[in-house]
Structure 1
Amino acid sequence: MTSYDGPVSDHFDGRTFFDPDGVPPKSLGEVLRWQFGGDRQRQAWPDWVENEHADIPPPRVTAGVRLSFVGHASWLIQTAGQNILIDPVWSDRVSPVSFVGPKRHNAPGIAFDRLPAIDTVLVSHGHYDHLDLATLSRLAATFNPRVVTPLGNDSTMRSADRAIRVEAFDWKDRVDLGGGLAVTLVPTRHRTSRGLFDRNKALWASFVLETPAGKIYIVCDSGYGDGIHFRRVRDAHGPLRLAILPIGAYEPRGFMKDQHMNPADAMKALADCGAGQALAHHHATFQLTDEAMDAPAKELAVALGAAEIPRERFVALRPGQIFEI
């Protein structure tokens, strides 16, 4: 078990990280009651869904921004001649072991051997559906990219593969990526762990990516709370051209609301952060919680209609689809 060793701060007590505006993580007993309680209503997912789309990205994009949805929280962002991966997961399972745990229900929207040369990887936190060591090792061996992550997650990566070229940063650190690009790590309402005894021993974050076409707010995993995190990003980093917001893994609501947004929460987050456009993710690839596979996208469409917001303002792509600025 690895942990971060650093000075005490307003979100690190010398042993674990915490969100001053959040809530403590659920106890182990609460987790077990949700997982194994007799009243659990877990919806069945189809074993496998064939993708309707498969992207073959260009080697580089120099004008504007090209975003390709890989699946779950994984994206390829191409801009200013650079290729950036977000929380890359090409593994079949997101689990400590390869034979049990949440499995993939559709293929990545980009085949790994179709990836362009990757320059930078952003990894938001240590949960297995975001920090996938097998994929990071494969990327290191193939492209040797720079990996940017919050404090403590670098120890997890280095202990698994010294070839992963990782750098760890704190909330509010701005990292120059070169070529007119930069990324700032910002607080988000979440938590992290890799096992039973390392809760919040590493930090978690969202990202604000500065591009020539505007700023992109990348929220890989977050609860909503009272929206303070999103309003602070608006105030500190606005105006935002685009927000990538999670809409899945939210049932049962009473258990999940502190760490995962549902579509209604994501719409409030969009209003709070003030982005002109949003893309939805964190749904329909790995069954982490109890809702049906297609429920997040359907509920997002209903919520947009009820609020009389055009559907094209908040789009739920499918793996292999692209969005361009």
Structure 2
Amino acid sequence: MRMKRRSLLTVASAATVMTLGGVGYAAHRRNANPYYSGPVSDHFDGKRFFLPGVNTDRGLKDVARWQAKRRRTAWPRSFPSPFPADRPPERVAGLRVVLIGHASYLVQVAGRNILIDPVFAKRASPVRFAGPKRVNPPGIAFGDLPPIDAVLITHNHYDHLDGPGLARIWQAHQPLVVAPLGNDVILRGYDDTMHVETRDWGESVDLGDGLSVHLTPANHWSARGLNDRRMALWCAFAILSPQGFHYHVGDTGLGDGAIFRDVRSRFGAPRLATLPIGAYEPRWFMQPQHVDPAEAVEIAGILGAQQALGHHWGTFQLTDEGVERPAEDLAAALAAAGVTPERFLALRPGQVWEG
């Protein structure tokens, strides 16, 4: 029994690493990128994407060190949201944002309905029997979704790109799917009829009626397995509408802050910033790729955001901090920065923000 338990724990740990994107160094021995074959640029070397001057890679030795020395705070099996599952209206003229869970949102703006990184799966994992399991149901039941016009995908990690769920959304709603370069191949692997528009950093998609989405860099990376690190692009989104500028980041490290200063310079201070606040321990491993709450507050300050909402916490345990730590650390960071708690909310599934 001891050996069987150890084997199951190893599978679960491997699935967690795969959720975060795998290790990916075996791919250096391969010549082909299975997702994208475009021209070399200042952030694509012909095989892999990169952010100049930023290194988020972690090797097998780093992963082994993390797994061997983990001080993982146990999560409860259930961490229900204090908010009931939302039943959104069919359309909204203004701006209405609901957290579905983890990093999944429904954004209703200017009469359009947009899903961001929708994950309805019970596990954020490449396998159904292991890996991070959700501890609360989605904040909107799938059947209660309004008509979906567009889906935005920030990157291909399993806690952001739920392939079977996206195929189901496509079959039910036929939305336009917008994703960074290379992710169309992954998405069409789940439904080859899916309409996917891919773009590079600095490019955009016009959604009509004064609504557009612009892809900007994030201090992160991509992978679906062990051999495809950084072979598909990742991004943050600037969503421009008659209701103002909404800046959304799925995952990022702080870095030197340059990418956030560039966003403010290009688009102005956002009316709303939706930023990650979880999956940040241990810092020696996570810092290049995942901000902690204090860094998220710093990003909101760099942006000059009128309002910030925090996600990427409290649904799937990916890293070592306790389930409530991100909200606690966010409260402490806001107090230290002299920012009122209402300016940056740690959202729970089903929680609605309207502005």
Give the TM-score category using the shorter length.
Answer: over 0.9
- What per-residue deviation string (whole Å, max 9, x for no partner) do you get for residues 194-236 of structure 1? 0010000000000000011110000110000111111110111
CA distance in 2, matches of 1:73, 1:250: 14
Please tell me whether residue 58 in structure 1 is matched to residue 89 in structure 2. yes
* Bigger share in helix: 2
CA distance in 1, matches of 2:269, 2:297: 17
Please tell me whether residue 40 in structure 1 is matched to residue 99 in structure 2. no
Does the aligned pair in 1 maintain the 2:56–2:288 contact within 8 Å?
A: no
Matches within 5 A, 1:98-109: 98-109=128-139
1:153 counterpart (160, 180, 183): 183
User: 3-state SS of the aligned residue for 1:217?
Assistant: strand
Matches within 5 A, 1:72-83: 72-83=102-113
CA distance in 1, matches of 2:332, 2:305: 20
User: 3-state SS of the aligned residue for 1:113?
Assistant: helix
1:221 counterpart (245, 251, 259): 251
Unaligned segments of structure 2, at least 5 residues: 1-32
Change in Cα spacing, 1:57 to 1:265, as seen in structure 2 (3 Å) is same
CA distance in 2, matches of 1:226, 1:4: 29
CA distance in 1, matches of 2:160, 2:347: 18
CA distance in 1, matches of 2:42, 2:63: 27
Match of 1:26 in 2: 58
Alpha-carbon offset, residue 80 of structure 1 = 1.3
Does the aligned pair in 1 maintain the 2:210–2:241 contact within 8 Å?
A: yes
Match of 1:253 in 2: 283
2:271 counterpart (241, 248, 252): 241
Does the aligned pair in 2 maintain the 1:148–1:166 contact within 8 Å?
A: yes
CA distance in 2, matches of 1:24, 1:77: 29
Match of 2:240 in 1: 210
CA distance in 1, matches of 2:81, 2:303: 31
Does the aligned pair in 2 maintain the 1:57–1:114 contact within 8 Å?
A: yes
2:315 counterpart (285, 288, 292): 285
User: 3-state SS of the aligned residue for 1:223?
Assistant: coil
Please tell me whether residue 181 in structure 1 is matched to residue 211 in structure 2. yes
TM-score norm. by structure 2 comes to: 0.89
Does the aligned pair in 1 maintain the 2:164–2:190 contact within 8 Å?
A: no
CA distance in 2, matches of 1:51, 1:284: 9
Matches within 5 A, 1:115-126: 115-126=145-156
Change in Cα spacing, 1:21 to 1:244, as seen in structure 2 (3 Å) is farther
| Cα RMSD after superposing both structures | 1.0
CA distance in 1, matches of 2:128, 2:300: 36
Match of 1:137 in 2: 167
User: 3-state SS of the aligned residue for 1:160?
Assistant: coil
Please tell me whether residue 12 in structure 1 is matched to residue 44 in structure 2. yes
CA distance in 1, matches of 2:349, 2:183: 27
- What per-residue deviation string (whole Å, max 9, x for no partner) do you get for residues 294-318 of structure 1? 0000110111112221001111121
- What per-residue deviation string (whole Å, max 9, x for no partner) do you get for residues 40-90 of structure 1? 10000001122222110000001x200011111100000111100000000
CA distance in 2, matches of 1:179, 1:307: 38
Q: Which range is displaced more, 17-26 or 281-290? A: 17-26
User: 3-state SS of the aligned residue for 1:270?
Assistant: helix
- What per-residue deviation string (whole Å, max 9, x for no partner) do you get for residues 221-275 of structure 1? 0000111111110111113111111000000001000000000100111111111
CA distance in 2, matches of 1:140, 1:128: 18
Does the aligned pair in 1 maintain the 2:79–2:314 contact within 8 Å?
A: no
User: 3-state SS of the aligned residue for 1:3?
Assistant: coil
Task: Report the residue type matching 1:278 in the other structure.
Answer: A
Please tell me whether residue 274 in structure 1 is matched to residue 304 in structure 2. yes
CA distance in 2, matches of 1:197, 1:57: 40
Does the aligned pair in 2 maintain the 1:67–1:323 contact within 8 Å?
A: yes
Match of 1:113 in 2: 143
CA distance in 1, matches of 2:231, 2:45: 10
User: Between the two proteins, what is the percent identity of the paired residues?
Assistant: 54
Matches within 5 A, 1:188-207: 188-207=218-237
Unaligned segments of structure 1, at least 5 residues: none
Match of 2:157 in 1: 127
- What per-residue deviation string (whole Å, max 9, x for no partner) do you get for residues 15-63 of structure 1? 000011311411122112212x1x210000001122222110000001x
CA distance in 1, matches of 2:259, 2:116: 20
TM-score norm. by structure 1 comes to: 0.97
CA distance in 2, matches of 1:258, 1:190: 7
CA distance in 2, matches of 1:93, 1:2: 25
User: 3-state SS of the aligned residue for 2:143?
Assistant: helix
Does the aligned pair in 2 maintain the 1:136–1:164 contact within 8 Å?
A: no
CA distance in 2, matches of 1:184, 1:173: 6
